[in-house]
């Protein structure tokens, strides 16, 4: 064992030291206590002895890419103890080159019993948040039998648009923020639950009074969300609902400042609302509703382009058009 690395074994967290082939050279007492594996039985074994099938492939890919570059890496693993029980851990792995040889020092912190409650893996948390927001959105608009299909399409378009726009414009949006936009997009019209059906699904033109009632739905939606938010005592949904609030309140604002309810203009409109505004209109135009016929995709795209810079953010329209072009390019000739 390299004496230079022994200092790490005195840490309170679980520590594992491996050679360049990821074979275990040493572990400390905390590692043995958490995993249930005795030092003498695992020395020389692969570090993957604690590996489960539940950690995503993307996590391992990210780890190996960093280590192969000679860089440190941090992430979350779902591992398996000697007993077969699962344990979640935050791990940092750092490569050290000593005497021409590379060694890896992994420092684990068990996440099962945090002071604020039980740890929930990020992927599972995202799934839970997405499902609950979907249930809430559908519950608020249950009067419309086609609403679930509309919400799912809006969410799918939003995911594509967030991904392409972020890459095309070099925005470097954080993954949590992108996921919040995608999950929250289905909440955009929950305020319509407060609009009378006779107005909401009226086949003909709305009167001025009826239009005012419809334009109240973003404020009604925010009121619904605020009542939910008051009941939350932790941060599990706080960030998610903050993004949802911006989408609900501002997805009918227009780039030129003539939208509602607050006549926001340009980049004063939150990015998430500008994105959902485009996909919501596109799906509404290309879907059959009680009060309108289906538009072709070409006609709907032409409408978006015509309103670029007036109703919609020009850059977001360009990104959305690019998505449609990419899908067309993939069609067989």
Residues pairing with 76 in the sheet: 90
- How many CB atoms lie under 10 A from the CB of residue 11? 12
Angle, alpha carbons 276-282-287 (nearest 5°): 125
Q: Are 189 and 222 spatial neighbours (Cβ–Cβ below 8 Å)?
A: no
Bridge partners (DSSP) listed for residue 88: 78
CB 165 within 8 A of CB 171: yes
The Cα–Cα gap between 23 and 19 comes to 6
* Cα–Cα nearest to 87, from 37, 20, 18: 37
- Which tokens belong to 229? 């938010």
Q: Count, in order, helices (H) and strands (E) of the chain.
A: 13, 5
β-strands 24-27, 73-80: how paired?
A: unpaired
- Catalytic annotation on 238? no
Longest CA–CA separation in the chain, Å: 83
- C-alpha 191/C-alpha 326 separation (Å) is 34
Q: Is the dihedral of CA 168, 169, 175, 181 positive or negative?
A: negative
Active-site residue identified among 192, 265, 299, 308? 192
For the chain, what's the residue count?
333
Provide the strand spans (E) within 63-100: 73-80, 86-98
Q: What residues are annotated to the active site?
A: 192
């Amino acid at each position: 064992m390299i004496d230079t690395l022994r200092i790490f074994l005195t840490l309170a967290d679980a520590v594992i030291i491996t050679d360049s082939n990821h074979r275990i050279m040493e572990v400390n007492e905390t590692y043995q206590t958490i995993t249930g594996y005795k030092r003498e039985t695992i020395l020389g074994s692969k570090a993957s002895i604690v590996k489960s099938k539940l950690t995503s492939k993307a996590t391992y890919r990210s780890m190996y890419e960093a280590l192969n570059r000679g860089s440190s890496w941090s992430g979350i693993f779902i591992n398996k103890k000697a007993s077969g029980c699962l344990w979640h851990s935050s791990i940092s792995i750092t490569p050290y080159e000593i005497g021409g040889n590379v060694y890896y020092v992994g420092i684990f912190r068990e996440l099962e019993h945090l002071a604020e409650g039980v740890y929930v893996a990020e992927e599972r948390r995202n799934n839970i948040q997405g499902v609950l927001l979907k249930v809430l959105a559908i519950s608020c608009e249950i009067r419309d039998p086609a609403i679930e299909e509309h919400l799912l399409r809006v969410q799918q378009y939003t995911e594509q648009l967030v991904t392409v726009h972020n890459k095309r414009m070099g925005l470097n949006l954080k993954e949590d923020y992108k996921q919040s936009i995608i999950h929250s997009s289905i909440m955009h019209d929950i305020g319509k639950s407060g609009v009378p059906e006779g107005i909401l699904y009226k086949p003909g033109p709305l009167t001025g009074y009826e239009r005012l009632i419809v334009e109240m739905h973003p404020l009604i939606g925010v009121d619904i969300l605020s009542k939910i938010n008051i009941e939350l005592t932790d941060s599990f949904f706080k960030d998610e609902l903050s993004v949802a609030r911006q989408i609900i309140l501002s997805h009918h604002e227009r780039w030129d400042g003539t939208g509602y309810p607050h006549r926001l203009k340009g980049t004063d409109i939150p990015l998430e609302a500008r994105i959902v505004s485009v996909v919501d209109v596109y799906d509404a135009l290309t879907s059959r509703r009680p009060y309108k016929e289906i538009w072709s995709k070409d006609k709907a795209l032409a409408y978006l382009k015509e309103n670029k810079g007036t109703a919609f953010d020009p850059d977001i329209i360009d990104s959305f058009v690019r998505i449609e072009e990419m899908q067309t390019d993939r069609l067989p000739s």
